[in-house]
Amino acid sequence: MSERFQLSNFDAVDWLRALPSASVDLVVTDPPYESLEKHRKVGTTTRLKNSKASSNEWFDIFPNARFPELFEEVYRVLANNSHFYMFCDAETMFHAKPLVEAAGFKFWKPIVWDKVAIGMGYHYRARYEFVLFFEKGKRKLNNLGIPDILTQKRVYRGYPTEKPIEIAKVLIEQSTEPGQLVIDPFMGSGSTGHAAMLCGRMFAGNDTCQEALKVARARLVETGGEEDRTLLCRGMKNERSPKQQALLFGR
């Protein structure tokens, strides 16, 4: 049986607000954080440029000032005893961590993604990125033998800032069971969804970029996923406004 997915094209916070409370089993995401603009202006990243897989002018930066409303909604939609993973750089980590905690999460630690090869930059050139690990309630990881440094080469010539599916697979397999729902409010090319399909989980993703939806949809179908535009509406008990219904149906 094919794993099901649903994709939407809205503002991340608006999309989350339309989801029922406690309806999600895991959030894995990589917001287009504010410090990326700084790195681009000083020439220490090429990751915001067009790529072979994308003709778009990239994305709208999600400002740090909107983090509180984002994290509040992530906490609300997650079921109790679940996890939240967020990719970010060192600068964003210091800004985001206290705000995620203020939303109600427990912070466990930053997981280090070792990209193997160094990137651009000054002083000590970066070859790592953080994945912040948060918990709502109390949930044990499925495998306590996994280290907090995950080594995997970065994706070259892919969608801008695309994350390796091998990293997402570790997070998904650690924090969910087969058949559960994984979401990504900033899905980009759908690498989290790709990993979810391979792990036997359902996936719901959102992005403001139309190109992202096109790339992600083709990728998930090729992976064997089956698009289900009613996935997020199943089990709803409360009435939703027309706007929320449109968001949930991915229109």
Contact predicate 202/182, CB 8 Å: yes
What's the total number of domains in the chain? 1
132: phi then psi, degrees, rounded to nearest 5: -75, 135
Contact predicate 207/179, CB 8 Å: no
Show the 3-state SS of the chain.
CCCEEEEECCCHHHHHHHCCCCCEEEEEECCCECHHHHHHHCCCCCCCCCECCECCCCCCCECHHHHHHHHHHHHHHEEEEEEEEEEECHHHHHHHHHHHHHCCCEEEEEEEEECCCCCCCCCCCCCEEEEEEEEECCCCCCCCCCCCEEECCCCCCCCCCCCCHHHHHHHHHHHCCCCCEEEECCCCCCHHHHHHHHCCCEEEEECCCHHHHHHHHHHHHHHCCEECCCHHHCCCCCCCCHHHHHHHCCC
Integer Cα distance of 58 and 198 in angstroms:
27
Contact predicate 234/12, CB 8 Å: no
Kindly give the confidence (pLDDT) of every residue in the chain, 251 residues in length, as a single tens digit, with 9 standing for 90 and above. Answer: 579 999 999 999 999 999 999 999 999 999 998 866 565 444 444 444 444 443 445 567 899 999 999 999 999 999 999 999 999 998 999 999 999 999 999 999 999 999 998 776 667 888 899 999 999 999 999 999 999 999 998 776 666 677 899 999 999 999 999 999 999 999 999 999 999 999 999 999 999 999 899 999 999 999 999 999 999 985 555 556 666 666 666 55
Q: Which domain, by its residues, includes 22?
A: 4-248
Q: Tell me: the pLDDT tens digits for 129-166?
A: 999 999 999 999 999 999 999 999 877 666 667 789 99
- Domain containing 203 — which CATH number? 3.40.50.150
22-43 core/surface letters (b: 16 or more CB in 10 A; e: else)? ebbbbbbbbbbbbbbeebbeee
Closest to 82 measured CA to CA, from 130, 148, 31, 133: 133
